Amino acid sequence: MHLTINGKRLSVGQMGPDFLIMDAAEEYAPTVALLYLSVDGHEREWTVFLPEGISAGSRRVVIAKAG
């Protein structure tokens, strides 16, 4: 599982209904990102909005539907 922001791939350790837990936090302003998930060979990707961005001080990231 990972997020792609401006071409940079960020590893995601856990996903909830409205949040992600990043493997390592970096600093990003609120933005749109591509979320990629692969489970048992089934791949899915979709666009999400990060309304609070990503804080280097926290690995928890709020996500919302984009668009």
Domain count, the chain: 1
Dihedrals phi, psi of 33, to nearest 5 degrees? -140, 160
What is the residue range of 25's domain? 2-65
pLDDT score at 25:
82
* pTM, rounded to two decimals: 0.90
List pLDDT tens digits, range 8-65: 999 999 999 999 999 998 999 999 999 999 999 999 999 999 999 999 999 999 999 9
- Among 62, 38, 36, which residue's Cα sits nearest to residue 49? 62
DSSP character string of 22-47:
ESS---B-SEEEEEEEEETTEEEEEE
Q: Residue 5: pLDDT above 90?
A: yes
- Among 40, 64, 39, which residue's Cα sits nearest to residue 50? 64
Dihedrals phi, psi of 65, to nearest 5 degrees? -60, 135
